[in-house]
Chains A and B, each alone.
Chain A
Amino acid sequence: MIEELAGLERQALAAVREAKDGGALERVRVRYLGRREGLVSGLLRKLGTIDPADRPAAGAAANRTRKTLEKALDERSRELAALAEADPAHVDLTLPARRKWRGTIHPVSRVVDDIWAIFRSLGFTRARGPEVDTEWYNFVALNTPLDHPAADEQDTLYLAPGLLLRSHTSPVQIRTMERYPPPIRIVAPGMVYRRDTYDATHTPAFAQIEGLVVDEGVTFVDLKATLAEFGRRFWGPGTEVRFRPSFFPFTEPSAEVDVKRVIVRDDGSRETTDWIEVMGAGMVDPAVLENVGYDSERYTGWAFGMGPARAAMLRHGVSDLRLFYENDMRFLRQFA
């Protein structure tokens, strides 16, 4: 009995020391000294069942234990009260964090950045050119005679006869090659303009990004390899990339690049999309190289063009292109 009491006392004192607040302390008191369920009280009730000769000693021991525990509880309670008083700047960490406005980068810029990051790792630099350009740079130098139906594919906004808003970023190809000798390895992001009215998939001004590689020994195999590598990196693991014949006046052979993406949903399920057309590409037409004074027998090249806004639509599940240019704060702030 006395040994049992000693054991209980040790346990109880430890529990008192560990109690971190008034509530916990009260629970310790009830557990050991509670009138009905308390462990010490329970032992006291068993006094009648032991040898009468041992009863006085056991009773005294039990009282001592109770007194010791009461004293410890009292002390700990004062201690806790003192602690609370000693921390006048008690911090309530459940209050919301202090917030500042968070700025966001436009989703289309972000796509351009991501495209650039991939091409940068493949040895590309960035080039730029004017948004107002001449028919020579926008069409003729790019092997697109104005009397050919191919010139209709892009309905162009004019400022004056011969002077236009570039309908694609491809004039940067010409301007760059005029200024620098091969090897050329550039991407050219920028705004381009078409005579389109606003609808869910058209705006009169939109972003485009162009790529150009010219050097000795550059082939269609390089084009495929580089753009397939880009496609898989940009569109994510599991992406399939497909090349289809197409026509652009400034490339030959020309290709349309399609991707089939794997979309991983929030619940972990996967879905493979249909083929989606994401860029145009091709081997630079020798006529284009000759137009900038490059020897087309010695140098070959490839080029691509894609629309970052369309990529941003696919990436973020945006079904109306106009949202990107309305600049509603509630829309833009979703891209934090």
Chain B
Amino acid sequence: MKVSYRWLRDLAPGFELTPGQAIARLALRGSPVEDVEDLAEGLRDVVIGQVLEARPHPNADRLTLCRVAGPEGEVPVVCGAPVVHEGAFYPFAPVGAVLPGGFRIGKRKIRGEVSQGMLCSESELGLGEDHAGIMLLEGEYEAGASFARAAGLADHRFDVEVTPNRGDLLSHVGIARELHPEGQAAIELPAFPLGADGSGGGSGVDPGFARGGSESTSAGVGIAIEDPALCPRYLGAVIRGVAVGDSPRWLTDRLRAAGARPVNNVVDATNYVMLELGQPLHAFDLARLDDATIVVGRANPGEALVTLDGEERSVTPEMLMIRDAHRPVAIAGVMGGRDSEVSEATRDILLECALFEPKQVRATRRALGMSTDASYRFERGVDPTTMETAVRRAAALIVATAGGRLDGEIIDACPVPWKQPRVTLRPGRVKHLLGVGFTSGEIVRLLLPLGYEVVEQAGDAGDALEFLVPGHRSYDTLREVDLIEEVARAYGYDTFPEALAPFRPGTVPDHPLFQLEDRLRALLAADGISEAQTPALGPAGSGDVALLNPMSAEESALRRDRLTGVLGHVERNMARGVRDVRLFELGTAFAPAPEGPPAESARVAAVLTGRRAPVQWSDAGDGFDVYDIARVLELIATEVSHEWRVVPCGGAGENGPELPRRVGGLFVPGRWYAVRGPGGEIVGWGGEIAPAAMDLPRWAGAVVGAEVVLPDRPAPKAAATASELPGHPASQRDVAFLLPVGAAAGDVLRSARAGGGQLLEAVELFDLYEGGDLPPGSRSLAVRLRFRARGRTLTDREVDKAFRRVLTRVKEETGVEPRS
């Protein structure tokens, strides 16, 4: 809501807040000012200039040579306007002034004559469209004085953030009422017609009302309401003999100050009253209403109308229309029709001041994909008690600015008279909710300035108080708790104490998945990997969970996995020349479900590429490879469950039919692992990313990545049982196995472990060698076996025996023998 500070001041005599104070107060009342504009700022350098002498330019037909009295005495000015009045006052930009558009005035010579400044037109000052002539100021001024102040343009425009429950603040009266300690009582509407500066003025129009139910008639115009639930009241004023034209300066200035665009004197009057009181109004060209009739009713199937914005709108029977005898002429509460729009040819008008049901207006304007100043206010609730004031004021303003006369009484069709809501409040409940006790008297004193009236008879609910809710709060204050909020607001949130009370522990256990995520985060960061965060939205692939109303194709579906998103970060980093990328991410993946919501699963994904360690003097700078991602998978798997195993998958060619579809082609065949749960189910995968799966620069090294599906509610891991430390020395035997082509190192190690029995404490692979004098493709596996017994020292014989068992077992199970 755009608000003119001067307008606020003019509505509440005695309003003494400075713009800064008003802003601070609005913030504390719950309607912060998002933006402030000093409207005089662009006019800072413009002053009042008096033309002392004006004569035609000797060398140009259309130019005038003036002598202008300004801030620094008299100066010669060449003016582009052919007619300049001697003795008159104009806005004057002296040498050095900067105009709103940024144009700087310099000393110039125009066709041989010196010009020291410029007499300005409206458009040059940003005050209007008129750039034909310079702006003649009526009245007496002091030459050299600030133009903005003298012309009443010194003002501030606030952009006030109004919450959806406060439709009553969508007007200047509403904001002034909110700011003034006396509330509504402080408001005094200035009468029309106003003087040139917007103040004063005589008595306005004070017509009577032709009261009716669903129908009412006056001045030969009939109004009928067919759907009282959606339109409880419709007022119409007939004004005949208007001359549609420009509005007076004070009116256009005021509208501009509040951010509205002047149109013509009739439309400006309706906008003025809407901005002042919050009641949307509409003026019809009466001659365009068939049979001079208004019917408030539903649209017929297949109907359409062209609205004021020139759009053809198809309307449906769910929508409420304002119709004449034959067709819709306006969409109720949203926008008028172009056909009955007020134009320069208009002589007679029908001024509409109606109340429409908020949900209906909201549904209609949403269905039509539009929002207007009127619909915005109706949706949030328009004060039913302001209607009569609004229609009278708008009529008076039109008569004052466009002439004409009000014909007959104001037509008042009111099938559902407004009933003032009553809300009961128990002082005990106030303390129960707010923690501070208030007496009945205190509560009444707090609520009175907000417009609430206490009903004397409190009823039979003990000390309960019954309040009448003022019209402007009647959409929001419906329940006891709403009144309690008003008490808290009036008391001032900052006045409440801050006493920390004792509390009982809650019944909700800390969710174990958060705990697991915390541990994984710490674990992976400790392994040198940085945490990434990716929105779960991505481009749609076939079968993905797609959005109904995406913002863009790039974010039109939910991610089915997290790894591909993290791989995208690798691409982005590499595109920026960053080669060393180590990222992990915790997030949700979404799998489509045949019915209902998609299946969500928590995931952890990680990716490594580039050097295994930072560049340094002690390191060859090897790059990450598939064995690094194996470690990451083991870290994660071990953290989640003792029963999870990381297993190498497939020989060359096999590529995981069990893997999720998207992930299946992600890895280089034969270079990936799976994480298997206790039942053999795949819960994670990781390996070397196939180059074709990514868009990487040529210099990129191997990229390895992994993803693990976390349990929805991880079971706590059993606490480790400590074993006693050995008290006797161990014996070691080293052996080198010669692995022929195709033999798996893991099989050899597993057989070795199995063959050693209880005496074998550890199997350590300490070297892997290939090439040299070995047969092509075969590898030498250097293994240290450590034997130890509990409670005694092993003899050489025992160790030799166990060692031979290991060799035998390896030979039997894998065919592999030690190197001779």
Contacts and interface: CB of A to CB of B under 8 A. Distances in A.
A157 B493 contact: no
A158 B546 CA distance: 9
B616 A102 contact: no
B506 A124 contact: yes
Interface of A: 95-96, 98-106, 108-109, 113, 122-128, 130-134, 147-150, 152-153, 157-161, 163, 165, 176, 180-186, 189, 191, 193, 195-197, 203-207, 213, 215, 217-222, 224-226, 228-229, 242-247, 252-256, 275, 277, 283, 285-286, 300, 324-330, 332-333
Contacts of A206: 535
A290 B584 CA distance: 42
Given A101-B614, A247-B166, A220 B496 contact: yes
Interface string B541-569: 00001111111100100100000000001
B601 to A, nearest CB: 11
Contacts of B582: 101, 103, 329
A236 to B, nearest CB: 18
26 contacts: A99-B616, A103-B584, A106-B532, A123-B505, A128-B511, A128-B514, A130-B597, A132-B598, A147-B359, A147-B362, A152-B164, A159-B545, A159-B547, A161-B548, A180-B506, A195-B551, A204-B555, A215-B503, A219-B434, A220-B434, A221-B501, A224-B493, A243-B493, A243-B494, A325-B533, A326-B569
Interface string B18-29: 000000000111
Interface in B466-513: 479, 481-482, 484-485, 488-489, 493-494, 496-501, 503-511, 513
Contacts of A217: 501
A161 B549 CA distance: 11
A330 to B, nearest CB: 6
A191 B583 contact: no
B372 to A, nearest CB: 14
Contacts of A147: 359, 362-363
B507 A245 contact: no
Interface residues of B, number: 95
Given A184-B508, A204-B555, A220-B496, 18 more contacts: A103-B526, A103-B531, A105-B522, A105-B531, A165-B558, A181-B507, A183-B503, A189-B514, A195-B551, A243-B496, A244-B30, A247-B166, A252-B482, A327-B533, A328-B572, A328-B576, A330-B578, A332-B531
Contacts of B493: 224, 243-245, 253, 255
Nearest to A254: B485
B618 interface: yes
Given A128-B511, A132-B590, A225 B498 contact: yes
A275 B616 CA distance: 47
Contacts of B514: 126, 128, 189
A221 B496 contact: yes
A150 B167 CA distance: 12
Interface in B282-321: none
B580 interface: yes
8 shortest A-B CB distances, which residue pairs? Answer: A219-B435, A101-B528, A221-B435, A245-B30, A205-B535, A185-B506, A247-B163, A103-B525
Interface in B338-372: 359, 362-363
Given A132-B597, A225-B499, A324 B508 contact: no
B4 interface: no
A225 B500 contact: yes
Contact of B506 (A125, A148, A204): A125
Given A219-B432, A329-B530, A158 B547 contact: yes
A101 B526 CA distance: 9
Interface string B588-615: 1010000011101000000000000110
Contact of A324 (B433, B533, B547, B581): B533
Contacts of B550: 157
B379 interface: yes
Nearest to B507: A180
B435 A182 contact: no
Contacts of B359: 147-148
B788 interface: no
B503 A245 contact: no
Contacts of A255: 493
B525 A104 contact: yes
A195 B549 contact: yes
A228 B499 CA distance: 10
Contacts of A204: 535, 537, 551, 555
Contact of A104 (B433, B509, B531, B576): B531
Q: What secondary structure prevails in chain A residues at the interface with B?
A: mixed
Contact of B484 (A122, A182, A253): A253
B617 A96 contact: yes
Nearest to B602: A128
Nearest to B528: A101
A215 B166 CA distance: 30
A143 to B, nearest CB: 10
Nearest to A184: B506
A206 B555 CA distance: 14
- Of B32, B529, B547, chain A has the most CB atoms within 10 Å of the CB of B547
B367 to A, nearest CB: 12
Contacts of A98: 616, 618-619
Contacts of B527: 103
A159 B590 CA distance: 12
B57 interface: no
B2 interface: no
Contacts of B580: 101, 329
Contacts of B187: none
B455 interface: no
B165 interface: yes
A270 B581 CA distance: 37
A218 B433 CA distance: 7
A286 B481 contact: yes
A333 B506 contact: no
B587 interface: yes
Q: Which of B434, B494, B514, B583 has the most CB of A within 10 A?
A: B514
Nearest to B489: A245
A124 B598 CA distance: 30
Contact of A149 (B164, B481, B507, B551): B164
B533 A185 contact: no
A199 B526 CA distance: 33
A224 B27 CA distance: 18
Given A149-B164, A205-B535, A182 B507 contact: yes
Given A252-B481, A253-B485, A329-B580, A247 B165 contact: yes
A221 B433 contact: no
B551 A196 contact: yes
**Which of A128, A184, A219, A245: most chain B CB closer than 10 A?**
A245
Contact of B528 (A102, A131, A160): A102
Nearest to B617: A95
B511 A127 contact: yes
B380 interface: yes
A138 to B, nearest CB: 12
A325 B164 contact: no
B573 interface: yes
Contacts of A332: 530-532, 583
Contacts of B783: none
Given A204-B551, A247-B30, A242 B576 contact: no
A69 B618 CA distance: 45
A217 B496 CA distance: 16
A4 B404 CA distance: 128
A100 B528 contact: yes
* Interface hub of B485, B494, B513, B528 (most chain A Cβ within 10 A): B485
A332 to B, nearest CB: 4
Contact of A245 (B29, B529, B558, B613): B29
Contact of B613 (A99, A125, A253): A99
B521 interface: yes
Contact of B435 (A109, A184, A222, A324): A222
A203 B535 CA distance: 8
B263 interface: no
